[in-house]
Amino acid sequence: AQSVTQLGSHVSVSEGALVLLRCNYSSSVPPYLFWYVQYPNQGLQLLLKYTTGATLVKGINGFEAEFKKSETSFHLTKPSAHMSDAAEYFCAVSDINTGGFKTIFGAGTRLFVKA
């Protein structure tokens, strides 16, 4: 079965520093990959997605992620953290073995940004 692993339940960075949130998936075929962000008391919002084509994907708010098939990874990065980036981030995979209708989420990484 598909699984998604997010390394680090909490990540703390200083404002202006690089943000790196890690995501690894298990799949025998390239999956469809998503990053979502959740602000307090809100639902999830899409940051970016990888389906096919270019492996470096740009999303909203300056985030980007790179799909690396050989490493089964889809890490999320942002060059310079802003206080408003403090939130919980979820990596998700569409399970194409079930026609893509099942979605598997990682456990989430809470990002703290220090002034």
Q: Which residues are at the interface with another protein (CB under 8 A)?
A: 4, 6, 9, 32, 34, 36, 41-46, 49, 51-52, 90, 92, 94, 96, 99-108
Tokens of 40: 């307090």
What φ, ψ does residue 106 adopt, rounded to 5°?
Answer: -75, 175
In the complex, what is the shortest distance from the CB of residue 70 to another protein, in angstroms, rounded to a whole number?
A: 21
Sequence-distant (≥ 6) Cβ neighbours of residue 28 within 8 angstroms: none
Nearer to another protein, 14 or 51 (CB): 51
Nearer to another protein, 4 or 11 (CB): 4
In the complex, what is the shortest distance from the CB of residue 85 to another protein, in angstroms, rounded to a whole number?
A: 19
Q: Are 21 and 6 in contact (CB under 8 A)?
A: yes
Nearer to another protein, 9 or 14 (CB): 9
Nearer to another protein, 63 or 90 (CB): 90
- For residue 114, CA distances in Å to 29, 64, 81 come to 39, 21, 9
